[in-house]
Amino acid sequence: MEKKGTILMQKYELGRLLGQGTFAKVYHARSLSSGESVAIKVIDKEKVNNNGLMDQIKREIAVMRLVKHPHIVNLHEVMASKSKIYFAMEYVKGGELFDKVAKGRLREDLARKYFQQLIGAVDYCHSRGVYHRDLKPENLLLDGNGDLKVSDFGLSALQDSRRQDGLLHTTCGTPAYVAPEVIHQKGYDGARADIWSCGVILFVLMAGYLPFSEQKLMDLYRKIFKGEFRSPQWFALEVRKLLSRILDPNPSKRISIAKIMENRWVKKGFKHFGQAQLPSNSNDKTSVSDVDTAFSIADCETPSKMNSGVVEEMTKADPPLPMIKTSYFNAFDIISLSPGFDLSGLFEKDNLIPRLPARFTSNKPASAIISKFEEIAATERFKLERKDGTVKLHGRREGRKGQLGIDADIFEVTPSFHVVELRKTAGDTLEYMEFYDHGLKPSLKDIVWTWQGCAVEGQQE
Cite the annotated binding site for ATP by residue number. Answer: 41
Handedness of CA 346, 349, 350, 354 (dihedral sign): positive
What's the full length of the chain, in residues?
461
Q: Cis before residue 365, ω within 30 degrees of 0?
A: no
Q: Nearest CA to 256 among 163, 151, 127?
A: 127
Name the 3-class secondary structure at 281. coil
The single-letter code of the amino acid at 84 is: K
CA distance 102 to 205: 10
Burial status of residue 301 (CB atoms within 10 A of its CB: 0-12, 13-18, 19 or more): exposed
Question: Which residue of the set 44, 123, 134, 248 is catalytic?
Answer: 134
E-strand ranges in 206-346 read 327-328
DSSP category for residue 168: B
C-alpha distance from residue 327 to each of 48, 118, 197, 369, 412 (Å): 11, 32, 27, 14, 6
What H or E segment, with its residue span, contains residue 282?
A: none
| Furthest C-alpha separation in the chain | 77
Question: CB-side exposure of 428: number of CA atoms within 13 Å?
Answer: 10
Handedness of CA 69, 125, 225, 420 (dihedral sign): negative
Reply yes or no on whether 134 is catalytic: yes
Handedness of CA 360, 365, 369, 375 (dihedral sign): negative
The DSSP code sequence of 404-450 is EEEEEEEEEEETTEEEEEEEEEES-HHHHHHHIIIIIHHHHTTT-SE
Cβ neighbours of 153 (radius 10 Å):
26
Asked if residue 4 lies in contact with residue 28, where contact means CB atoms within 8 angstroms, the answer is no
Q: Nearest CA to 121 among 158, 69, 198, 159?
A: 69
Residues 6+ apart with CB under 8 A from 61: 75, 78, 87, 286, 291, 310
Name the 3-class secondary structure at 306. coil
Asked if residue 428 lies in contact with residue 408, where contact means CB atoms within 8 angstroms, the answer is no
**Positions marked active-site:** 134
